[in-house]
Structure 1
Amino acid sequence: MAMRDASTQTEATGPLVQFARFDNGKLRLFSAHTHELRYFAISHVWGDIGWRKIPGIDGEFLVSAQKVDFIVNQLPDLVGDTPFWMDTLTVDQRNQAEVIATVQNIPAIFRDAGKTIAVRENDGFYACCADAIRDARSIEEFRNQMFEHCEIHKDHVQEETYLKRLWTLQEILLSDTVQFVAIRGGNMDPIRPFSRMISTIHPLEVLGASFFENISFDCVLVFSKAYVMQEVILRLPAPLRTRRDSIYNDLFPMVHAASNRRASKPRDYIFATMPQFPWYHYPKNAERMEFGDIFLDYWEQASKNGFLSACKMKASMIEPQVRRDLGKSWLPSEIQPEPACLGDFLKLLGGQLPGKSAHTGTNIHVTRPVCISPFEYDHPSDIIEFIARMTQRSHFRFCLSCSTGEIPKDQGLKNIPWENNLKDINMLDWLQDVLGQNQSVLPFDSQAGNEIFSNDMRSQGASQANHFHPDELEVARDYLYTIFFYKNANPTEDNAWWPGVRDSLCRLFEIAPASHRLLPILLLMTATICCGMPVSATAWLMRFFIPIHVQFGEISHIGLLARHENLQGHPTPRTMLCVGQHLPVAPLLAGEGLHETFFPIPRRHDPKRNVCFGQELVLIDPEDRAPIGLLPDILHADMDEHELWTNIKILYDEIAEDGIRIVPLSDL
């Protein structure tokens, strides 16, 4: 009863938070409830921080030199004598427990604020940019005027830091009134890479669409102009989140699937997005938890409240010891790759699943048996052509990876000094010298396996999973984009470019035999993209998975197979089952006495429900029904009617007249 009373009181008054106020030039701190005070919230990026003194304020603060100047010379005029909240000033940054505990209050702080002051770094859009777009009357005019302006200032085009950070996204989305201001004296950082203007405008337009929860061009234009011109933007108050809401309730997963917004710590991808929902509470010992533990804790909280997500990395894919436990094998693994951006996190989270149970009562639909086999690397031309076909089969996924910068947009082949960049390729312990031996995959090494699956794995962290030279991944990304670009350059007419590019790549492999060892990396990265995993996780995936050839009847595709599944111990091709988890109808719960049923094939993907059909496909062993691999998305939302049915026929060997067969896991 005491806990319920405390919860009710908090809902009525808002959380107790420490605020600041300027009093005769001095900064004074005090505590108040968010519902009982009129205050401003300050949204900003941290920048190049260090412990610094701020004139007129006692103590040291974790802040950048630019932000010190802002606090002294701009902030007092912006807030006057109104109380305000700014994390660098009102939260003890030396106390990690306090920092993490504040996460739970962030939604209330920005939602209850009279106004959010969004502090731009003045490092992407400048005063001259505001003058250039001042008269824009449509989003097309805004873009054209900005592009024309940037043609004159090519050397000044950089990505706006404020639009690159995760926390600023959430702070804007939680606010109803936002005043944009820029730090005075901001200038270009010569260390930061120049970017194309589209990379600067796109995240701004996405932020505008997310703020209004409306993708209309008028809304995006109003927001974009307010941002660049340092004006105030407001909307009708957003409805309060309830226990019936989750991240899948609106367009967030779809709009931000290609987001490359970043956070300082992997845990922030959960802490910046989930506390807005009343059912989520950050774990008490979060400061001592690895990302995988925090991820699993989130999933458990979400599933208890009826919000299930596919979660790419199943326990039995990473931890072979749980394969015989049907309940645990389908749960998310405690060992997860650390996301490098928001888009990565959404990929790991996977799509929404219907239903209340995530254990043995889960119903799945078996699409068809598939044949899997390892790749053979003795014919580079075959591998290159196969990868090219995969970029066409998973064109949607590759376009998504290009938009996030996962694979670079350099149009042309690079001159790579193979003998230097690939000198450490031998550390790829699941490969061997394909020139000397005619096999593609090494037998599973028990010593290496013991190291990978030891209890020390989580303490090592996913960032230490690199078994190769850093240049190798960059080389693979460059070449993969080259293949993707030239193979898909003219999809509706004869492609005169691709044969020449393909032949050039093949000649490279003939001239530099050591480059043969790049092929498995290219295949792994191709499988990573096709299966909807983050490219940033390629190094991590290399420890746990191998790329495999997957045969859907007469159609060839690519997948990822758990390394503990030693294909050399089985006849190849080996038969597995391809199963889907997403059902576009109400789930069938265990205990209803239904052993199988059918649901109609949907004509369209429904973005409002975010229940994807023909996606999040998993490879399972028919003997123990445990997930052991990932398969590519065969269907996606942008398909037209003809393409949809063509791919349905690929995915399903036989389609019943009434629909597709659903079976509980326990009945397989």
Structure 2
Amino acid sequence: MPVGDTDYIAVSHVWGSELELEWRSVPGIEDEVLATTRKVEFLTEQLPFVVGESYFWMDILCVDQRNDDASVAVTGHIPTIFQYAKRTIVIKDGVGTKDCCGQAVGQIILLDGPWSSALLTPYVDEHASQLRFDEAVLTRLWPFQEIILSDVLQFVCCLASGFPESMERDTPTSQGDISFRTVEDIYFRPVISALQNLAESWSQYGHDGGLDSIETAKFIHAFLNHGQVSRKAVPGVRSRSHGIGDLAAAKDSGRRTTKTRDFVLAIMPQFPWYTVPENAKKMTFGELFVDCFQHQAERGGVKFSPLVTIGWQNTPKDILPTPPVSGNVPTPKTLGEFIRLTCGPPSPVLRGNSNENVALGPLSSYLIEVYPVIGIGLDRRFALELLLSSMAHSTQWWSRAWSSELGDYSVEPRNYYIDGEDLVAFRTRRDPEGLLPRAAAVGTLKILYTWLKLPSTIQRWTPGDKDNWSRIQSWLITNSSYDFIESLLRLAALISCGLGIGAYEWSIQNLTPLRTKFRDKRFLVLSSNLRPRSLRDCEFYLIETKRVEEYERFSLVAIYPGRVPSYSVGLFPCDVFRYQD
């Protein structure tokens, strides 16, 4: 049955915790369904009233979940299914936002109103003691793609029937009572940020213009009030998606997926030049990543560009693959980390040919001095000054990090005395996923960044907070090891250069942080571990990426004399070279 000739409804949902998924019998359905108890209740009691007599598509009912090949193959058809549906029903799991949230916000007209603040008081009163305020459709990967592809959305909510044990909050006990601000920062704001991000992504998708604040506000209102929202369809635009520009609003998204390969399989099929490989389920993420860029090169698709190129590995100079993409990339843990990997500078063609980049010329003409980050006699106080200076020269990425990836490592200095040793222990306890071997550094980065007062929200900090900062600074200067400082500077370089802290482990094997001086500016850069030994005969250029403003950055590019393509071998902070006067 051709989807373009049939009126049908698509259903977007989150399967639920793997601990709660079981093969279950559902009244009216012949075969068992892999679902949670809550989802079975929805299928039995609510879905018939929502879809009525319409045809509908729902993955757990239409795809054989016991067949891995079928589950992978259908990913190539997801864009078509959701683009052509007369409406998409988005099932919220019933353990996040509730009716009280919609009532608190009321009718959102413009996004410059205090709609998120209006949610905070009822959240603290009604939600804080019962769950982590998680909203699965805002934290998982597949609903994002299904929602932004749909022109008409209807939000429905599973009927509440108690909260799964996996959703119960682990309330801190050793650190005293949670303050109002801790509740806001740790549990509330991540959900609000994710909702804003999804609304903007949906509103902007497939359009040349900027953000439509009215359309975005209507989306948020429908989400909170379990209503319906639609956007104006643009004929033909969806079939020729604008590429990375359509995903720009998700650049800081913390959405996750169970299988890393799904970052490719969920995002790329929307582009007409991409085809899901037949053996996709057997391919590693790196292999799928390379395959994606090969499809693009062969079919002239949207110009994504790999951030990590073959130049970062030890490739003989007579081997010049096109495109110069490498399968040795950091394994993304979030959608934002995946998008960053696709928005590197296009391979520049410098000598006289026009392209989307600006070649600023050989590095020697800019008198750039490069030194190792760590070494004998490196002064700890100088290291902290270098870190702060690097932050100041990369405000774009640090502002994003503060509201996204560093949010999981936030601390609440007002509630208990913090010194360096406490911070180390606290950070270790707060790293349940083992993101970093020295997680204390992330907590320190949060406080360092907060102390800079880069975002407007830091105006709330008091002199007492600064006293805590002074104690931590003193501890770092007098007690921290060189190893700890090196870890701290590596993390700072990853954020300043736009790669993110999720690439920490990978960077140890592949990248070296360097301290760099340009005129009177000192900052951190990342360079390939192989430079300069395997690239000593290269010409080095600084390339400014102009394609997408949100991803403006400068890359150190190595060019083998007389050869194309060129290979990027490092990253600079995005603000350092913006003004050359």
- Cα distance in 1 for residues equivalent to 2:109 and 2:423: 52
**Structure 1 match to 2:569:** 629
Aligned-residue offset at 1:421 = 9.7
Quote the Cα distance in structure 1 between the aligned partners of 2:535 and 2:267: 44
Counterpart position of 1:43: 12
Q: CA deviation at 1:147?
A: 2.7
* Residue type at the aligned position of 1:180: F
| Partner residue, 1:666 | none
Q: Does 1:349 align with 2:342?
A: yes
Comparing 64-73 with 102-111, which one deviates more in the overlay?
Answer: 64-73
Q: 1:143 aligns with which of 107, 116, 125?
A: 116
Question: Which piece of structure 1 moves more, 254-263 or 145-154?
Answer: 145-154
Of 71, 94, 113 in structure 1, the residue corresponding to residue 85 of structure 2 is 113
Shift of 1:555: 2.4
Q: Which residue of 1 aligns with 2:176?
A: none
Q: CA separation of 1:623/1:520 partners in 2, compared to 1, >3 Å: closer, same or farther?
A: farther
Q: Give the residue type in structure 1 aligned to 2:556.
A: V
**Identity, % of aligned positions:** 22
Structure 1 residues 155, 414: CA separation in 2 closer, same or farther (over 3 Å shift)? Answer: farther
- Give how far 1:47 is off: 0.7
Q: Distance in 2 between matches of 1:181 and 1:64?
A: 17
Quick check: 1:122–1:187 contact (8 Å CA) kept in 2? no
Query: 1:374 maps to which residue?
Result: 372
> Mind listing any 5+ residue stretches in structure 2 that lack a counterpart?
172-182, 205-209
Alpha-carbon distance in structure 1 between the residues aligned to 2:383 and 2:360: 29
Aligned to 2:42: 70
Please tell me the residue identity of whatever aligns with 1:300: Q
Deviation per residue, 1:229-282 (Å, 9 max, x gap): 11111223343347754413x4x3331111112222222222222212222111
Match of 1:203 in 2: 194
Q: CA deviation at 1:291?
A: 0.7
Partner of 1:504: 471
Checking the alignment, whether the CA contact within 8 Å between 1:260 and 1:341 is kept in structure 2 is yes
* Counterpart Cα distance in 2 of 1:490 and 1:36: 50
* Total equivalences in the alignment: 530
Q: Which amino acid aligns with 1:175?
A: S
Q: How does 1:106-185 map to 2 (within 5 A)?
A: 106-139=78-111, 140-153=113-126, 154-155=128-129, 158-185=133-160
| 8 Å contact kept, 2:386–2:524 | no
SS in 1 for 2:448: helix
Equivalent in 10, 23, 29 of residue 52 of structure 1: 23
| 8 Å CA contact 2:374, 2:486 repeated in 1 | no
Q: Is the contact made by 1:53 and 1:61 (CA closer than 8 Å) also made in structure 2? A: yes
Cα deviation digits, residues 327-380 of structure 1 (max 9, x gap) = 3397111211111111111111115749999xx998871443333221235321
State which of 16, 28, 33 in structure 1 corresponds to 2:2.
Answer: 33
Pairing 1:525–2:491 present: yes
1:108-507 matches, within 5 Å, as 108-139=80-111, 140-153=113-126, 154-155=128-129, 158-185=133-160, 187-188=162-163, 189-191=167-169, 195-213=186-204, 215-241=211-237, 244-248=240-244, 250=245, 252-304=246-298, 305-318=300-313, 320=314, 322-325=315-318, 327-328=320-321, 331-351=324-344, 353=346, 365-367=359-361, 368-369=363-364, 370-377=368-375, 378=377, 379-406=379-406, 408-412=409-413, 413=418, 415-416=420-421, 472-488=437-453, 504-507=471-474
Residue 577 (structure 1) shift: 2.8
Q: Deviations over 1:514-538 (max 9, x none)?
A: x331111111111111111021111
Higher-Rg member (1/2): 1
> Corresponding residue for 1:95?
67
Counterpart CA distance in 1 for 2:66 and 2:256 is 22
For 2:558 and 2:144, locate their aligned partners in 1 and report how far apart those are by CA, in whole Å. 38
**Residue type of the alignment partner of 1:52:** W
- Tell me which amino acid in the other structure corresponds to 1:174: L
Distance 1:246 1:186, change over 3 A: farther
Amino acid at match of 1:162: V
Note the C-alpha offset of 1:144.
3.8
Q: Which moved more, 1:285-294 or 1:255-264?
A: 255-264
* Residue 481 to residue 297, structure 1, CA distance change in 2 (3 Å): same
TM-score (norm 2): 0.81
Deviation of 1:311 (Å)? 1.5
**Distance in 1 between the 2:411 and 2:425 partners?**
21
Distance 1:519 1:555, change over 3 A: same
Which stretches in structure 1 are left out of the alignment for 5+ residues?
A: 1-31, 424-465, 585-608, 637-645, 651-668
Q: Offset of 1:104 from its aligned partner?
A: 0.9
Q: Distance in 1 between matches of 2:455 and 2:106?
A: 38
Per-residue CA distance 1:353-412 (angstroms, 9 max, x = gap)? 49999xx99887144333322123532111112111111111211111112133533254
| Contact 1:310-1:353 within 8 A present in 2 as well | yes
Distance 2:342 2:248 in 1: 13
Deviation string 1:532-583 (CA, Å, 9 cap, x unpaired) is 102111111111112111232442221112223378x999xx997342163x
State the one-letter code of the partner of 2:264.
I
Counterpart contact for 2:129–2:169, Cα < 8 Å? no
SS of residue in 1 equivalent to 2:268: coil
Please give the secondary structure, in 1, of the residue aligned with 2:191.
Answer: helix
2:180 alignment counterpart: none
Distance 1:330 1:36, change over 3 A: closer
1:282-337 CA distance string (max 9 Å, x none): 1121111111111111112223315333311111212x1x2413633971112111
Stretch moving more, 483-492 or 101-110: 483-492
Change in Cα spacing, 1:196 to 1:274, as seen in structure 2 (3 Å) is same
Shift, 1:114, TM fit: 2.0
- Please give the alpha-carbon distance, in whole angstroms, between the structure 2 residues aligned to 1:128 and 1:490: 30
Of 527, 548, 556, 1:561 maps to 527
With over 3 angstroms needed to count, the CA separation of the structure-2 counterparts of 1:558 and 1:141, relative to structure 1, is closer
CA, structure 1 residues 562+225, in 2 after alignment: closer, same or farther (shift >3 Å)?
same
1:415 to partner: Cα distance: 4.8
Q: Show the counterpart of 2:542.
A: 579
User: What secondary structure, in the 3-state scheme, does the structure 1 residue paired with 2:286 have?
Assistant: helix
Partners of 2:397 and 2:464 lie apart in 1 by 22
Q: Distance in 2 between matches of 1:94 and 1:238?
A: 38
Greater displacement, 143-152 / 263-272 = 143-152
1:476 maps to amino acid: A
Match of 1:546? Answer: 512
Aligned to 1:14: none
Q: Distance in 1 between matches of 2:420 and 2:570?
A: 33
CA contact (8 A) 1:421 1:471 kept: no
Partner secondary structure for residue 472 of structure 1:
coil
Q: Distance in 2 between matches of 1:296 and 1:127?
A: 45
Q: CA deviation at 1:417?
A: 6.3
Shift of 1:623: 7.2
Would the aligned equivalents of 2:393 and 2:573 in 1 still touch at CA under 8 Å?
no
Contact 1:411–1:485 (Cα < 8 Å) also in 2 = no
Query: 1: CA distance between counterparts of 2:559 and 2:465?
Result: 38
**Partners of 1:352 and 1:576 in 2: CA distance:** 17
Counterpart residue number, 1:86: 58
Seen in structure 2, the aligned counterparts of structure 1 residues 227 and 615 have a Cα distance that, compared at 3 Å, is same
Give the direction of change, closer, same or farther, for the CA distance of 1:48–1:498 in structure 2 (3 Å limit).
Answer: closer
1:656 counterpart residue number: none
Residue pair 2:154, 2:229 contacting (<8 A) in 1 also: yes
Aligned-partner SS, 2:514: strand
User: What is the CA–CA distance in structure 1 between the aligned matches of 2:107 and 2:561, rounded to whole Å?
Assistant: 66
User: What SS is found at the alignment partner of 1:272?
Assistant: helix
